[in-house]
Structure 1
Amino acid sequence: MITRRNFIINTSLAATAVLASPSFAFSMNKKEIGLQLYTLREELPKDVKATLEKVAKTGFTTVETYGFSIKDQFWGLTPKELKKILDDNGLKAVSGHYNLGSFLYDGNTEELIASIEAAKTLKTEFLTIPWVDEPFRRNIVDYKKIAVRVNEAAIMCKKEGLKLAYHNHDFEFQKHDGITGFEILLNETDKNLVYFELDLYWVIHSGNDPLKLFKENPGRFKMWHVKDKDKNNNDLNTEVGNGTIDFKPLFAAAKQSGMIHFFVEQENNFAVNSFDSIKKSCDFISQKML
């Protein structure tokens, strides 16, 4: 029987533990395990409904979309049709990767406006920029231009109730006259409008330390991509927990990072098949990290 006295004692002990261990505080407020749907890029276009049913049964509760275009929408489905399939399977698309057409390069807003409308229909929180084409990121001037465009897109997103985020690869960490593209993007985008989705694999692959980034830019990394590095080939992915990345200190620093959503992603090198791999990653995170 729980008495009022025991409740007060237990509550006090829990509060003490939270103060003593930030990682314990994180574990008390478990994050939902998300999946970047690009992992299933071979399966989704063939059968969206069946694929998302399997995602839900695997244990994921949130997803990050990809692949939207004005012409094909989402693999032939309208945002409204996709939303219904997600709802039917208890899945929430809390973020989406949208290429924004040529907006980053010439300011054409057509694809950006369509992406914002799609994200709103899906009840998405973050509209995320996934990639910058190589000809437009060759020097400091290029990155400064991208930062300006990202700020403009973030203002448009905010007006529509969305947040804008930028997802990195490794090329942003290349130095240009002593400064990296990522530093330019961090320093020249509005901290109150532009957030970052930190791909942990690509940060580490580039020779950088996510913990250092968290410390230097607290609260800026609202989302993560969680994927592991293969033990035998560092250029390949593997199931989370099966590779060389130590995720424990990273998850322990989640609060400092600002992380509120994270997504498992695996682009290649599946153990048996993609569904088996995402289940292994989901199980590892659920059992070891949260």
Structure 2
Amino acid sequence: MTTRRAFLTQAGLFATGALLMPKLTSAKIEGKVGLQLYSLREQLPKDPKGVIAKIAQAGYKEVETYGYSKEHGFFGLSAQEFGKLLKANGLTTPSGHYNMDSLFAEGKFGELDEAIEAAQLTGQQYVTIPYLNEKFRKTAADLKAVAAKVNLAAERAKRAGLKVAYHNHDFEFANIEGTSLYEVLAKETTIALEMDLYWAVRSNQDPIKWFEKYPGRFRMVHVKDMDKAEPELNTEVGKGSIDFKKIFAKAKLAGIKHYIVEQENFKIDPYLSITESSKYLRNVLLA
């Protein structure tokens, strides 16, 4: 696998008419609309400044980073330079996807510490684990070991004023000796769960059931739609088969604050695609 890895309450004068005119009391979903930069992984390295400007023009207010290293920064820009670039375009970044293989392989915190530094310099709240190598998740004992290391990472991030989050693919829901990685992370850690809604649905999971079981834990979600004809592919938000309206009706229960669009493959121009997704998310789903 490739590495990378939004209530208004009517009251007073309207209270007596609420049952007759329910639309007056409908809740507006709160949260910010962002883009996972991995969506534009082919364009960013060539022109980071131009791409970031186009993301802002597409209506996004946030971005989620990926691919940081101390040596190369973000697409050739230092964390501080990248933070200034985002600010210049009216963008913020709540989260970044950071590699932490050394934590799970050897219990070392070097990569985590670099991620914490980058997160602080760019104003991020979450240091997010984007992927877990298969060799660390073969048995139930492995899963408990992963959770223990995640808790150590969370403690270390907390001392720096940050939080740890975990982003899923499909394998987190697979049965491993009567449990699953997602269940273990939800039950044995207190980190935020960034649910990738596409991968959850593709794995035959009902996101709402997870929201009900672990309320308030899902501070971020990846909003990635499923192509109707080719479910292994993504499509623009609103054009696919995922019922986001039903899912987002439970946003308060879930604790969602950040709606992060991600699209891993495109059938139309990527900039047109991310603009369509932004408009649908802002004007239909979160309206």
State the Cα distance separating 1:25 from its structure 2 match.
7.8
Structure 1 pair 18/168, CA: closer, same or farther in 2 (3 Å)?
farther
Please report the TM-score for the alignment, with normalisation by the length of structure 1. Answer: 0.90
Return the match for 1:228 from 225, 229, 232: 225
| 2:281 aligned residue | 285
| 1:6 aligned residue | none
Deviations 1:192-243 (A, max 9, x none): x411101100110001100110111111111100010001111111110011
| 1:262 aligned residue | 259
Give 3-state SS (helix, strand or coil) of 1:28's partner.
coil
Structure 1 pair 177/25, CA: closer, same or farther in 2 (3 Å)?
farther
Aligned amino acid, residue 105 of structure 1: A
For the pair 1:205 / 2:184, whether they are aligned, the reply is no
| Equivalent runs, 1:165-244 vs 2, <5 Å | 165-189=165-189, 193-244=190-241
State the Cα distance separating 1:135 from its structure 2 match.
1.4
Deviations 1:28-52 (A, max 9, x none): 3632211111101011111110000
- CA distance, structure 1, for counterparts of residue 63 and residue 19 of structure 2: 32
| Equivalent runs, 1:1-290 vs 2, <5 Å | 11-12=11-12, 27-28=27-28, 30-189=30-189, 193-268=190-265, 270-290=266-286
Q: Is the CA contact 1:170–1:202 (under 8 Å) kept in the aligned structure 2?
A: yes
Q: Is the CA contact 1:26–1:255 (under 8 Å) kept in the aligned structure 2?
A: no
Aligned amino acid, residue 277 of structure 1: S
More displaced, 135-144 or 111-120?
Answer: 135-144
- CA distance, structure 1, for counterparts of residue 264 and residue 15 of structure 2: 40
Q: Is the CA contact 1:228–1:239 (under 8 Å) kept in the aligned structure 2?
A: yes
- CA distance, structure 2, for counterparts of residue 30 and residue 198 of structure 1: 17
- CA distance, structure 2, for counterparts of residue 242 and residue 127 of structure 1: 31
Aligned amino acid, residue 198 of structure 1: M
| 1:7 aligned residue | none
Structure 1 pair 28/234, CA: closer, same or farther in 2 (3 Å)?
closer
Q: Is the CA contact 1:22–1:252 (under 8 Å) kept in the aligned structure 2?
A: no
Q: Is the CA contact 2:170–2:203 (under 8 Å) kept in the aligned structure 1?
A: yes
Deviations 1:32-79 (A, max 9, x none): 211111101011111110000000000000110000112222111100
Supply the RMSD in Å over aligned alpha carbons: 2.3
| 2:5 aligned residue | none
Q: Is the CA contact 1:22–1:255 (under 8 Å) kept in the aligned structure 2?
A: no
Structure 1 pair 144/23, CA: closer, same or farther in 2 (3 Å)?
farther
- CA distance, structure 1, for counterparts of residue 35 and residue 214 of structure 2: 25
- CA distance, structure 2, for counterparts of residue 246 and residue 99 of structure 1: 31
Aligned residues between the structures: 277
- CA distance, structure 2, for counterparts of residue 74 and residue 265 of structure 1: 18
State the Cα distance separating 1:11 from its structure 2 match.
4.2
Aligned amino acid, residue 157 of structure 1: A
Q: Is the CA contact 1:220–1:258 (under 8 Å) kept in the aligned structure 2?
A: yes
Which ranges of structure 1 fall in alignment gaps of 5 or more residues? 1-9
Aligned amino acid, residue 121 of structure 1: L
Which ranges of structure 2 fall in alignment gaps of 5 or more residues? 1-9
Structure 1 pair 235/163, CA: closer, same or farther in 2 (3 Å)?
same
Structure 1 pair 26/212, CA: closer, same or farther in 2 (3 Å)?
farther
State the Cα distance separating 1:184 from its structure 2 match.
1.1
Structure 1 pair 175/282, CA: closer, same or farther in 2 (3 Å)?
same
- CA distance, structure 2, for counterparts of residue 31 and residue 87 of structure 1: 19
Structure 1 pair 45/224, CA: closer, same or farther in 2 (3 Å)?
same
Give 3-state SS (helix, strand or coil) of 1:198's partner.
strand
Please report the TM-score for the alignment, with normalisation by the length of structure 2. Answer: 0.91
